[in-house]
A = this chain, B = another copy of it.
Amino acid sequence: MSDTVVVGLDVGGTSTRATALTLTGERLGTGRAGGGNPTSHGAERAAAELLRALRGALANVDPTRVAAGTIGLAGAARLLADPAGRAAFDRAWRDAGLRCPYAVHGDALVAYASGTAAPDGTVLIAGTGAITAQVRDLRLDRVADGHGWLLGDAGSGFWLGRESVRRLLADLDAGRTPGALATAVLTELMGSAEIAARPRDTVDATIQTVTRRPPIELARLAPLVVTAAADGEPVATALVAEAAAHLVDSVGRIRPAGAVTPVVLGGGLLTGDTPLAAAVRAEVGRHWPAAPLRTAGDGAAAAAWLAARELPEVTDPTALHARLFPTTP
């Protein structure tokens, strides 16, 4: 058993991470590569990044020792439905010297498993977008939101960024002196907080600046909101509270009232010690007082754990999880 190794990959839009583990939780290697999402990068490039990350994790490991592997990625269902994408991933797997099969799971399941070993629970992820999923027997069951910036992702980084610009424009319309958040947003967008003699000119210039770029780039303004809220800025504090309400509303669409299973918070906006994470914790606690609250951790290790628990020799996957994620309460 001590010779057996499992491999996990967390494939994201901006980076791919791989980890090789023993079944006692020892980390034998990690690898990192560029974004490897086949939907956004194309199957060949995604597979090349996958291979690079795998080679990093297996630099000091005999790949024939690897008994199981799991790949977590956004849009897992699309990959599984795409023969060319699947073939490219199969090739990368073999080129890394791996002979075992691998499983593909959604990134939401991997985020969930990085926060808890409990088979049933809820994961809420807020980064550029926002999505919630119910997990049953460590499989994704129902999903809420994740509808994209035009129709959903309420409470996400995109949402926070867009709302911060809307509040700025409302201040300019009303002739109010912009507060700290609006000033920061205006400076970020326009390079200066100066307002034209006719404020409508600043309104028009701001709208032009935003609409020249892809809408999703509004998410870049989210850190300004989070930082301002941490400083107690009133508009930012209100936006963060509204975002938390939206996020927990989407949880409520699929998580039963009175549920006592864990809720795992993931994504860049919820894994740090931010006012938004605190507001979401408070809201979740208000709706589900008995729910253990967890924070998502190392996704590649969680993917490797999902692989390990399929092996017959892993008789206590919960104990292995506790060794892998010792800080998880």
Decide: B151 and A207 in contact? CB cutoff 8 A: yes
Q: Does A173 contact B (CB under 8 A)?
A: yes
Q: Does A220 contact B (CB under 8 A)?
A: no
Query: Which listed residue, B147, B162, B166, B174, touches A203 by the CB 8 Å rule?
Result: B147
**In this assembly, does A150 line the interface, its C-beta being within 8 Å of a C-beta of chain B?**
yes
Interface status of A170 (Cβ within 8 A of chain B)? yes
- Asked whether A272 is an interface residue with its Cβ less than 8 Å from the other chain, the reply is no
CA distance A151 to B142 in the complex (A): 31
Min CB gap A104→B, angstroms: 17
CA distance A284 to B152 in the complex (A): 30
- Determine the residue in chain B with the shortest Cβ distance to A140: B200
A37-80 Cβ-contact flags toward B at 8 Å (1 or 0) = 00000000000000000000000000000000000000000000
Interface string of A126-150 (1 = CB under 8 A from B): 0000000000000000111101101
The answer to whether A211 touches B254, judged by C-beta atoms less than 8 angstroms apart, is no
Partner of A253, one of B143, B150, B174: B174
Contact of A152 among B151, B152, B169, B215 (CB under 8 A): B169
Most buried by B among A145, A175, A253, A254: A253
Flag if B148 contacts A211 (CB, 8 Å). Answer: yes
| A150 lies within 8 A of B162 (CB) | yes
Verify if A210 is at the interface (C-beta below 8 Å from B): yes
Contact A254 B173 (CB under 8 A): yes
Contact: A166 with B144, CB < 8 Å?
A: no
Q: Which of B148, B207, B253, B254 contacts A147 (CB 8 A)?
A: B207
CA distance A170 to B251 in the complex (A): 11
* Tally of A interface residues using CB under 8 Å: 26
Beta-carbon contact of A174 and B254 below 8 Å: yes
How far apart are A255's CB and chain B's nearest CB, in angstroms? 10
CB contacts (< 8 Å) of A145 on chain B: these are 169, 173
Task: Write the nearest CB–CB distance from A169 to chain B, whole angstroms.
Answer: 5
A250 at interface, CB cutoff 8 A: yes
With A144-B173, A175-B142 given, is the CB distance from A162 to B166 under 8 Å?
A: no
Chain A 192-226 per-residue mask, 1 if CB under 8 angstroms from chain B, else 0: 00000000100100010011000100000000000
- Is A243 in contact with chain B by the CB < 8 A criterion? no
- A148 touches which of B150, B170, B207, B253 (Cβ 8 Å): B207
Q: Are B174 and A144 in contact (CB under 8 A)?
A: yes
Candidate in A151, A165, A203 with the most chain B CB atoms within 10 angstroms:
A151
Indicate if the CB atoms of A215 and B147 lie closer than 8 Å: no
Q: Please name 15 pairs of A and B residues whose Cβ atoms are closer than 8 Å in the assembled complex, sorted by A.
A: A142-B175, A142-B200, A143-B173, A144-B173, A147-B166, A147-B203, A147-B207, A148-B207, A150-B162, A150-B215, A151-B162, A151-B166, A151-B169, A151-B210, A173-B253
List the 8 shortest-distance A-B pairs measured between CB atoms, nearest first.
A174-B253, A144-B173, A173-B253, A147-B169, A151-B165, A147-B207, A150-B215, A143-B200
Known contacts A151-B207, A173-B250, then 12 further A-B pairs from the complex at CB < 8 Å, ordered by chain A residue: A142-B175, A142-B200, A143-B173, A145-B169, A147-B203, A150-B162, A150-B211, A151-B166, A151-B210, A152-B166, A152-B169, A174-B254
